[in-house]
Amino acid sequence: MKKSLAAVVGAALVAVLAACGGGENASGNTLRVGTLSDSKPNAYQENGVFTGFDNELLKAIAAHQNLKLEFVSTEFSALLSQVANGKFDIGSSGISQTDERRRTVDFSAPYNYQSLGIETREGVGITDENSLTGKRIGVVQGTVSDSWLAANAPAAQAVRFPQDAATLAALKSGAIDGAIFDQATAEDYAAKNSDAKLKVVKAITTTIPHGFAVKKGNTELAGKINAGLKAVIADGTWERVHRRFEPNAPVPVEFKAGQK
């Protein structure tokens, strides 16, 4: 009798847990998302909460697909290898889809495009990529900014950092002459560091798409992200999130509400 009662109670508990677990993935596990804590406006922490365009978009996608997420801070230079080895299920931080990175991880469908900004201090003499020769230019290691600098200003002295915060600190202190950031990030730093006399001297638009990274071969998760992405584009969520974090950036036609 006690055994039967225990079985009934156990079954009821399982049913309750299942009903409460609507935000979890099909296997009942929370998806771990590797992201950044200091890279506005794409991925950062505010009052202890991970936010930014990429992370808020991913939250909306997860809500459509009944997925539960746990965000964890890491350094960008380690992120893709951590997705590849299974430490994280998803990488979210304005990751540009390059051929080199596709050899390490798979990506979702594009959800934005990469734009860069050359940032410096007043009086340094940097105006564009042609004036970077001999200058100490900060980049976050392994980013598109890093590869762009190598390809477009090979005579510059690249100074590599693990994250944006360290790059910004070096720029403000004068340890470096300039830096290459995501365009929106560079503009945000200039606006909030007027005492350091920072300015964005040139914006560079690329056609390199951003994507959420998943472990190679995880077509099920990539498919769920893509289905959710279509839904948030179609219902206008993509545009609302974009206006919140990148109000001055144009909206590519493929991300406008109603697109499928």
Q: Per-residue pLDDT for 28 more than 70?
A: no
Dihedral (CA of 156, 161, 163, 169) sign: negative
142-153 tens-digit pLDDT: 899 999 999 999
Are 18 and 210 contacting, i.e. CB atoms less than 8 angstroms apart?
A: no
The alpha carbon of 24 is separated from its chain's Cα centroid by a whole number of angstroms, namely 22
Measure the CA dihedral 193/198/203/208, to 10°. Answer: -60
Q: How far is residue 45 from each of residues 91, 93, 177, 221, 244, measured CA to CA in Å?
A: 16, 12, 27, 25, 15
Distance in angstroms (rounded) separating the CA atoms of residues 220 and 64: 15
Q: Is residue 136 a contact partner of residue 159, using CB atoms and an 8 Å limit?
A: yes
Neighbours of 117 (CB within 10 A): 23
210-212-215 Cα angle (round to 5): 130
Give the H/E segment covering residue 15. Answer: helix 2-20
Q: What average pLDDT does the segment 172-181 reach?
A: 97
Q: Is 111 exposed, middle or buried (0-12, 13-18, 19+ CB in 10 A)?
A: buried
207 pLDDT band, cuts 50/70/90, is confident
- Cα gap 228→240, rounded to integer Å: 15
SS3 per-residue string spanning 70-115 = EEEECCHHHHHHHHHCCCCCEECCCCECCHHHHCCCEECCCCEEEE
What is the residue-averaged pLDDT of the chain? 89
Task: Report the pLDDT value the prediction gives residue 15, as an integer from 0 to 100.
Answer: 35
pLDDT of residue 149: 96
What's the pTM? 0.76
Q: How many Cβ atoms sit within 10 Å of the Cβ of residue 173? A: 9
Res. 251 pLDDT band, cuts 50 70 90 = confident
pLDDT number for residue 259: 67
Asked if residue 39 lies in contact with residue 182, where contact means CB atoms within 8 angstroms, the answer is yes
Number of C-beta neighbours around residue 41 at 10 A: 22
- What average pLDDT does range 105-112 have in this prediction? 97
- 181-200 in b/e form (b: 16+ CB < 10 A) is bbbbbbbbbbeebeebebbb
Band the pLDDT of 191: cuts 50, 70, 90. Answer: very high
Q: Measure Cα distances from 204 to 10, 200, 228 in Å.
A: 60, 11, 30
